[in-house]
Amino acid sequence: MIASAGLNAQGYPYPRYPDRDRRSAPYYGDDRYGRQGSWGRGDPGDVVQRVIRDMDLAARNSFTDRHERGHFDRAISELLEFQDRWSRRRQVDAKRLDRAVDSMRHLAEARQLEGRSRRMIGQDIEILRDLREELRGYRY
């Protein structure tokens, strides 16, 4: 019992029970050692992968009609295409990001989604807009 009290007294670099929404944490976008990618948020493919996971989670947790489901499908498809082009050729396809953001914007305003999902999608839109701005003019 004394040994466990000593362990709890030690300082931890991160909160012991971080929020489920890891984007609010100061180390979101860093690798596990705290180093950031060249754009400040990590590799663009990793950032897009996180957004795809969020979109998939929101789609699974929402009861939507065919119209809204189509927006989920289009957004995920565009993000997967962006990620594929980035991972294969290091090419930035801004049009794909724009189309994904348009579909996501529609979802962020859809009343069929619960508020938590709409907020998460809204945060992801901002992340993608920041990414697009940071990648403007990127050439490999």
Structure letter (DSSP) for residue 64: -
| pLDDT tens profile 39-88 | 455 688 899 999 999 999 999 988 889 999 999 999 999 999 999 999 89
Structure letter (DSSP) for residue 22: G
Look up the pTM and report it. 0.68
Q: How far apart are the first and last CA of the chain?
A: 57
Helices (H), 27-138: 44-60, 66-89, 94-108, 115-134
Residues with Cβ within 8 Å of residue 104, at least 6 apart in sequence: 55, 71, 75, 121, 124, 125, 128
In the block, which residue shows the tokens 């890891």? 22
Give the burial class of 126: count Cβ atoms within 10 A of its Cβ; 0-12 exposed, 13-18 middle, 19 or more buried.
exposed
Residue 125 has pLDDT above 80, yes or no: yes
Residue 117 has pLDDT above 90, yes or no: yes
Spatial CA neighbour of 23 closest among 119, 139, 136: 119
Provide the mean pLDDT of the chain.
Answer: 77
| pLDDT number for residue 137 | 67
Give the burial class of 84: count Cβ atoms within 10 A of its Cβ; 0-12 exposed, 13-18 middle, 19 or more buried.
middle
Across residues 8-27, what is the average pLDDT?
45
| Count of C-beta atoms within a 10 Å radius of residue 29 | 20
